[in-house]
Amino acid sequence: MSVRELGTMIWVEVTMQMKTDIKYLSSTVSEFILYTFAYLAVVIFGAVKGMNAFYHTNLGVVMILIGFMFWNMGVVAMDESTLFIETGARTGILETEIQSRFSLWFIALVRSWVTDIYYFVYLLILSVITAFVISVPVLQLVKADVLVFVIAIISNVGMLGIGLLFGAGSLRFKRVGNWSSILQSAILFVANVAMPNYFGAQLLLPFGAGIEITRHLFLGQSVSLNLIGTYFGVNVIWFALGLVIFRHAMQKERRIGSFDRF
């Protein structure tokens, strides 16, 4: 795979995403509205005072915003891989898609990064509004947005792995989208998205350590090498687990001949 081929692929994905968003504008707007309500929910019910005490700051709402942005971009990566596989499995075009020059997981990953660019614009707007509401300099929140966008590139890989796990399930059951949505909602309220990192299990999520790294960097605090190592290690494990199980599921589907039903 050459750099030119990769560039062409990314450009095609960007173009397709633009056309899709324009064609299904109402659906795109409704998604942004739902995410905005989710953000308001975590701000209202989130542990703002706990954030202030835990991170020794008075910017607890910004700490929640950083967590929400990671969750938002992680959900995008997870949805891209899950829906990509589920739709192909239900319509019978998955076997054709896997004949592509690029691996299926790589296409889903690139799509998630491309989609993140669009959501980055949405998060910028959300941050500007938040800045005016809580009287924080806009540039401070733009700094948080940039940090999240760069650091979340790693957590997208781990969330892609979780998406591949659901994708493997869709090969057998054809429709797992509801279970995926339930998991995403549960993560929003039990992870360190709207609360500090109270217990170690929160770091087992692909973006758990990434949230903590970004919060510390934003506040000018030191970041331990153990936390950085955990961030990379957890995402590698989730991605490897998802890829192995998905490939096994694909091999099994080929053996039992379910592709022939479509």
Which residues, other chains included, contact 153 with Cβ-Cβ below 8 Å and sequence gap of 6+?
Answer: 113
pLDDT the model gives residue 262: 44
Query: How large is the average pLDDT for residues 211-220?
Result: 95
Q: Is the per-residue pLDDT at 41 higher than 60?
A: yes
pTM of the prediction?
A: 0.84
pLDDT the model gives residue 38: 82
Query: How large is the average pLDDT for residues 93-122?
Result: 74
Closest CA to 165 of 105, 234, 242: 242
Range with lowest mean pLDDT among 83-97, 132-146, 198-212, 216-230: 83-97
Query: How large is the average pLDDT for residues 181-205?
Result: 86
Mean per-residue pLDDT over the chain, rounded: 81
Range with lowest mean pLDDT among 113-122, 169-178, 183-192: 169-178
Angle between helices 25-45 and 177-190 (to 10 degrees): 30
Q: Is the per-residue pLDDT at 258 higher than 60?
A: no
Q: Is the per-residue pLDDT at 217 higher than 90?
A: yes
Query: How large is the average pLDDT for residues 177-182?
Result: 72
Comparing 41 with 70, the larger pLDDT belongs to 70
pLDDT tier at 134 (50, 70, 90 boundaries)?
confident
pLDDT the model gives residue 105: 76
DSSP string across 40-97: HHHHHHS-HHHHHHHHTSS-HHHHHHHHHHHHHHHHHHHHHHHHHHHHHHHHT-HHHH
3-state secondary structure of 176: coil
Closest CA to 48 of 123, 133, 111, 117: 133
Phi, psi of 217 (to 5 degrees): -65, -40
pLDDT tier at 39 (50, 70, 90 boundaries)?
confident
Query: How large is the average pLDDT for residues 106-130?
Result: 82
Comparing 40 with 70, the larger pLDDT belongs to 70
Phi and psi based region of residue 220 (left: phi greater than 0; alpha: psi -120 to 50; beta: remaining): left
